[in-house]
């Protein structure tokens, strides 16, 4: 509740599961966007929270006011950056921040799974490096559920049009939910394939008597 209250009324977006090299790009994006929205809050949730000291040094160097979740802080009105450096709270961030960039995709990591933010109905942006999730990337493009960007300039432009309403968020949010819903049946489909393909003896119950 305290976190949601701190975001209330502010333009906000989330860079989730970021990797080295991406945070500096996200900060460039924030600086460009804050010219239009001085009260913009950019949330950075690194893939590995134990990089917090490295990121704290980076944030101190750029001189943007910031606060840190692992220290028990919620973002103040003066903070431009919020470092979400805890484990197990990504659901909280997705639930409260509708606009999400999925990290590991502006640098050659291979991307991260966008299905969790899709469950929360987030608008999902990703960079060119989504090699680990080719099928989901293709599905997201086909359903118009994810927005692909090639570099930080395109990321800045897309976030701007989404924040100012030039690109309505609602259709992308609904399409993301539909993509996530389609993925929910994957276990049932897998079991059906196993049932058809594996020999009956393997699938039969074992009699321990």
Q: Express each pLDDT in 31-45 by its tens digit.
A: 999 999 999 999 999
Distance, CA of 163 to CA of 175 (rounded, Å): 18
Exposed / middle / buried, residue 96 (Cβ in 10 Å: 0-12, 13-18, 19+): middle
Q: Give pLDDT tens digits for 121-171.
A: 999 999 999 999 999 999 999 999 999 999 999 999 999 999 999 999 999
Confidence (pLDDT) at 185: 74
SS3 124: strand
Confidence (pLDDT) at 194: 87
């Amino acid at each position: 509740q305290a976190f949601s209250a701190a975001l209330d009324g502010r333009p906000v977006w989330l860079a989730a599961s970021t990797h080295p090299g991406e945070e500096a790009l996200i900060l460039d994006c924030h600086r460009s966007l804050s010219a239009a929205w001085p009260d913009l809050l950019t949330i950075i949730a690194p893939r590995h929270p134990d990089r917090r000291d490295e990121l704290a040094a980076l944030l101190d160097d750029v001189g943007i006011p910031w606060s840190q979740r692992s220290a028990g802080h919620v973002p103040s009105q003066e903070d431009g950056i919020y470092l979400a450096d805890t484990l197990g709270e990504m659901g909280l961030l997705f639930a409260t921040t509708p606009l999400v960039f999925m990290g590991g995709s502006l640098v050659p990591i291979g991307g991260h799974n966008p299905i969790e933010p899709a469950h929360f109905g987030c608008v999902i942006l990703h960079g060119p490096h989504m090699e680990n999730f080719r099928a989901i990337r293709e599905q997201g493009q086909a359903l118009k559920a994810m927005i692909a960007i090639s570099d930080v300039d395109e990321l800045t432009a897309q976030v701007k049009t989404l924040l100012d309403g030039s690109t309505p968020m609602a259709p992308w949010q609904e399409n993301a939910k539909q993509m996530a819903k389609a993925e929910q049946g994957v276990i049932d489909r897998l079991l059906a394939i196993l049932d058809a393909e594996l020999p009956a003896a393997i699938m039969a119950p074992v009699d321990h008597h």
